[in-house]
C-alpha cells in the first residue's frame, strides 16, 4: 500500500472527526448523558472466525503497520461495541468488502492494481496518476467503513445503502481543504472511468448505482459543500446547472443525516 495513501488517510480521519465531533454534537443538545466506553476496537488482521479457518492474509508488514496507524486513529474517534478488522489481501477480484459475518473490511490488492492501470490511461503525469490511485483507494476505504458502521451500530438507512456510504465517504474526504476536494474528485472519477460496456439488465438491478451516477452524486455533494469554492465544476460543465442548484441542500441533508446517526457513537 502506498504510504502516501495511509498517511493522508490517518490525517483525514482524525481531522474530519475532530471537526465532526463539534458539528455532530448539535443534534444531541439536551441529550448529554455520558457515553459508555465501547467493548471493541478497530484491529488489523484476520477476525477470530477466519483465524479458526487458518486464513493467511497476503499483507506486507508495511501495509500492516500503515493500517494499524489508521486503526489507532479510528479508535480515537469511534465507540465500538465490538471489534472490526482491517486488512489488505489478494481477493481474486478488483474490489473491497465489508463482511458483516466476520466484521472485516478487506481492501483487495487487485483493486489498487486496477486503479493503477485505469489512471495510467487517464493521466499522462505519473505523479497525478499515483495521487488519483491513492485518492480512489481512500474513497473506497471510507465507503467500506460506512458499511461497517451501519452494521455495527445497526443504523437505519432509507434509500440505497451503497449511495448512503458514498455520501459518508464524500463527507469525510471533503474536509474543506483543497487536497480533500481533489481527493473526492479523483474518487468520483474512478467510477466515471469504469467501462461498464453495453448495459444489460444487471446494471439496473445491481445494488450499486451506475458508475456515472455515482460520479455525479459525489460531485454534487462536493459542489454543494461550498458552491463558491467549487464553482468551476459548473462553469467547466462537469456538473450540469440543472443538478447543481439542488446540491447545497443535498449536501446539508447528507451531513445532517450522517451527523445525527453517528454522533451518539463518537468519543469526544
Ligand atoms: Zn459498498
DSSP codes, 21-44:
HHHHTGGGTT--PPPPPPSB-EEE
pLDDT at 10 over 80: no
Distance 68 CA to ligand 1 centre (A): 22
Between CA 99 and CA 56 the distance in angstroms is: 17
Distance 76 CA to ligand 1 centre (A): 24
Distance 29 CA to ligand 1 centre (A): 32
Distance 60 CA to ligand 1 centre (A): 25
Distance 160 CA to ligand 1 centre (A): 10
Mean pLDDT across the chain? 88
Split at pLDDT 50, 70, 90, the class of 205 is confident
Distance 203 CA to ligand 1 centre (A): 15
Distance 225 CA to ligand 1 centre (A): 23
For range 24-35, the mean pLDDT: 46
Between CA 184 and CA 173 the distance in angstroms is: 6
Distance 123 CA to ligand 1 centre (A): 26
Distance 206 CA to ligand 1 centre (A): 11
Distance 199 CA to ligand 1 centre (A): 20
Between CA 178 and CA 232 the distance in angstroms is: 13
Task: Among 3-7, 56-60, 120-124, name the one with the lowest average pLDDT.
Answer: 3-7
pLDDT score of 233: 97
pLDDT at 181 over 90: yes
Using CA of residue 3, residue 143, residue 194, residue 223, what is the dihedral sign?
Answer: negative
Amino acid at each position: 500500500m502506498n504510504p502516501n495513501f495511509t498517511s493522508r488517510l490517518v490525517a483525514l480521519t482524525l481531522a474530519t472527526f475532530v471537526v465532526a465531533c463539534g458539528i455532530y454534537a448539535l443534534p444531541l443538545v439536551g441529550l448529554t448523558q455520558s457515553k459508555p466506553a465501547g467493548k471493541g476496537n478497530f484491529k488489523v488482521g484476520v477476525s477470530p472466525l477466519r483465524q479458526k479457518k487458518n486464513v493467511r492474509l497476503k499483507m506486507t508488514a508495511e501495509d500492516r503497520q500503515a493500517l494499524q496507524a489508521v486503526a489507532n486513529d479510528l479508535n480515537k474517534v469511534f465507540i465500538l461495541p465490538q471489534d472490526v478488522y482491517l486488512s489488505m489481501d489478494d481477493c481474486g477480484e478488483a474490489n473491497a468488502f465489508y463482511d458483516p459475518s466476520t466484521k472485516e473490511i478487506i481492501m483487495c490488492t487487485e483493486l489498487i492494481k486496477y486503479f493503477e492501470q485505469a489512471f495510467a490511461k487517464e493521466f499522462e503525469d505519473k505523479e497525478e496518476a499515483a495521487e488519483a490511485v491513492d485518492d480512489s483507494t481512500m474513497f473506497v476505504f471510507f465507503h467500506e467503513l460506512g458499511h461497517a458502521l451501519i452494521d455495527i451500530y445497526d443504523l437505519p438507512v432509507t434509500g440505497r445503502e451503497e449511495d448512503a456510504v458514498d455520501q459518508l465517504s464524500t463527507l469525510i474526504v471533503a474536509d474543506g481543504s483543497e487536497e480533500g476536494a481533489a481527493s473526492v474528485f479523483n474518487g468520483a472519477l474512478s467510477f466515471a472511468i469504469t467501462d461498464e460496456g453495453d448495459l444489460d439488465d444487471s446494471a439496473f438491478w445491481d445494488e450499486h448505482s451506475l458508475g456515472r451516477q455515482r460520479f455525479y452524486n459525489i460531485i454534487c455533494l462536493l459542489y454543494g459543500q461550498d458552491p463558491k469554492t467549487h464553482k468551476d465544476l459548473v462553469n467547466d460543465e462537469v456538473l450540469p446547472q440543472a443538478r447543481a442548484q439542488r446540491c447545497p441542500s443535498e449536501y446539508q441533508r447528507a451531513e445532517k443525516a450522517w451527523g445525527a446517526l453517528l454522533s451518539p457513537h463518537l468519543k469526544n
